[in-house]
Amino acid sequence: MIVLYVFILALVQAITEFIPVSSFGHLCVAEHLLGMSQETGILLEVMFHLGTAGAIFFLFRKDLKRLGIEILGMLMDLIGNLNLYIHNRKTGGELKYARIVQGTYRKFAALLLVSMIPTALLGFVSRRLVAMSTDSLIMPGIGFLLSGILLLVTDMSKAGGEKGPREAAYYSAMWIGICQGLSVFPGISRMGFTICAALFCGYSRKFAVRFSVLMSFPAMIGAFFAEVGQFASAGMTVGMGFAYVLGALLAGLFGCLTIRFMVSLTQRTKLRYFAYYSFLAGIITLALNFV
């Protein structure tokens, strides 16, 4: 029976991760309806997200490889500039420093790095609160409603612009990272919050969605390493461990099949329709909590 439940949850994760509705919130509701316990905290949800991170890596591997190369290049330039600084100080020379950020991909990589700072900090300090918020459906219900409000306000305000990575400012990446950090709570849509923040910062809809998808990859990997210790918890069994790993694999497989369609749907569909869905999901979730 647990394998069937994991199959259902992996499918839910793959469908909801790449549209602006909370996949975490959907998982919490589904687990509640299936009567599944939370003995290992949020490890199961993290494993599903790890699976969809695998789907992102597989389908966006060229972009991620290029971004990784640019990050490594920035690191090498920083080391080189440090050596030049030491040399100039010792000799009184005036050797010119290398420009750290140059080109579209390197600017994109720098924006992602900046966005990850608040995401990592907020994710780390709120770990216990996040685990507690899954004990009932109140937080997921409220989170759905908050996501719906933000999506509707963004749509009605006609937020958005033409900015791409070249025109983007680092402070805007910081704000988007904060929004991603806040979305660790169930019901609060990570993609919804980050896309809305990007649109309010003047990003184009296409770039906002792309940025949201790619910035989720390191966040999901980081969440896995933060929770992997739960495999050694008292409530973990061999059967559960197998089911969790199977869930990650299934989420990755389903993610590979759905990600392109869901990302395309997010790019071309008005945010108000996702808002209406989030309102409905929030009302149903809160009703289930008191039934």
For residue 213, pLDDT over 70 is answered with yes
Helix (H, G, I), strand (E, B) or coil at 203: strand
Classify residue 136 by its DSSP letter.
S
Structure tokens belonging to residue 17: 């991760």
pLDDT at 9: 93
For residue 238, pLDDT over 80 is answered with yes
- The contacts of residue 279 (CB under 8 Å, 6+ apart) are 144, 145, 148
Confidence of residue 116 (pLDDT cuts 50, 70, 90): very high
CA geometry: angle 165, 166, 168, nearest 5 deg: 60
Confidence of residue 275 (pLDDT cuts 50, 70, 90): very high
For residue 38, pLDDT over 80 is answered with no
Structure tokens belonging to residue 214: 């790619």
Over residues 166-175, the mean pLDDT reads: 90
For residue 39, pLDDT over 70 is answered with no
pTM for the full predicted model: 0.91
Classify residue 1 by its DSSP letter.
-
Confidence of residue 40 (pLDDT cuts 50, 70, 90): low
C-alpha span between 92 and 79 (Å, rounded): 19
For residue 194, pLDDT over 90 is answered with yes
Helix (H, G, I), strand (E, B) or coil at 70: helix
